[in-house]
Amino acid sequence: MSSEQRRTYSVTSLTATDSWTHAQNLPGWQHIYEQIKRGPYEGLFTFAWLGPIQLIYERVSGPGVYRGRAWEGARIFSCFEKGHSWLNGQAIPDHSLVNWRWDGIDHVIMRDTAEGILMAVDEGWLVNQLSKCNATLFHFDNVRPKFGYRDPAFTQAFASESKEILRRLATDPTILDDPQSRLAAQKGVEDLLLGTLKFGVSASQPLPRPSTRAYIVDRAMQYIEAAMHDSVSVLDLCGAVRVCPRTLVYSFRSQLGVSPCRYLLATRLNRVYRDLRNSSSQVPIRQMAARWGFWHMGRFATYYRETFGERPSDTRRRAKTTRKRGLPVERMSWRTASSHASVVS
């Protein structure tokens, strides 16, 4: 985290009706969301920058896949309140307290509507703060997710208090205009975090081993990512993962709520969608679709409209308008993005 970010104090609440915009609504993070099922989509971020801490509430309306990472140097503490979710193929029970390093996750699967609280903290600052209070027992040596909880009521209280802090700040953003008030708000979050570490994360345990079905889906997703530029069939997946079609279908429906065919289709559609949003050239839509395995343009147009609620030409036109207005477009580099929040010296 830069010295400029450490002086950042702001609060924002943003909603989105498509997965691409939802990802863009959280500054500092480099990530994407992919919508799996057809139909309406809604995402909400309410977040506050409090110096070295970013406090986030998120709600997503339907199934999807998340890939990406937080800003470099962050340690993330998260409480998944609702929704069947998997981190890196490992099931996360509701009201679980999870922590990982900024680059510690590959993907998150959201089975249905999901919501949760995240706290991203500058790890160097946090270790320094803990050393000041002789909390030498906290060593954040895990890159990958770990979780720990003794009582669900504890994690619920952590989530409830975090949301209340965000609610107050969002209701009266002028709190952050006054140096003393914003420092008090930051200290309140620090106290909440210290209590979390004391009673939860200090007793953290590795996440449970993934179930067989989660393992199968995780392996299949890895294969799809590696071979996406080629035509991938369900049988290809069965051969790569070494399971029969029935087992593959059952595993996907259990973990994602969709068949392998639907997941493959959604993944390819999302690739075309991102190409249309990012490309400033006039590459024909047919050529973009073909790049991701669509050869029947009539079916492609139907699938696209059912999933995203608009025609491919509408997406391209909207992206062109966005670029003309100078609004940000998606960038898939993993370097830390500069925050758009106001900086208070």
Tell me the per-residue pLDDT of 211-268, one tens digit each, with 9 for 90 and over: 788 999 999 999 999 988 777 888 788 888 888 878 888 889 988 999 998 999 999 8
Contact 60, 113 (CB under 8 A): yes
Q: Which fold has domain 212-324?
A: Arc Repressor Mutant, subunit A (1.10.10)
pLDDT above 70 coverage of the chain, percent: 83
Residue 304 falls in which region: left (phi positive, over 0), alpha (psi -120 to 50) or beta: alpha
Please report, for the chain, the start and end positions of each structural domain, with discontinuous segments joined by +: 3-206, 212-324
3-206 maps to CATH 3.40.50.1860? no
Tell me the per-residue pLDDT of 105-143, one tens digit each, with 9 for 90 and over: 999 998 888 899 999 999 998 888 777 665 544 567 889
Separation of alpha carbons 59 and 266, rounded Å: 21
The answer to whether domain 3-206 and domain 212-324 are alike in fold is no
Q: Tally Cβ neighbours within 10 Å of residue 66.
A: 22
Contact 312, 285 (CB under 8 A): yes
DSSP secondary-structure letter at 336? P
Closest CA to 69 of 30, 100, 118, 120: 30
Separation of alpha carbons 41 and 21, rounded Å: 11
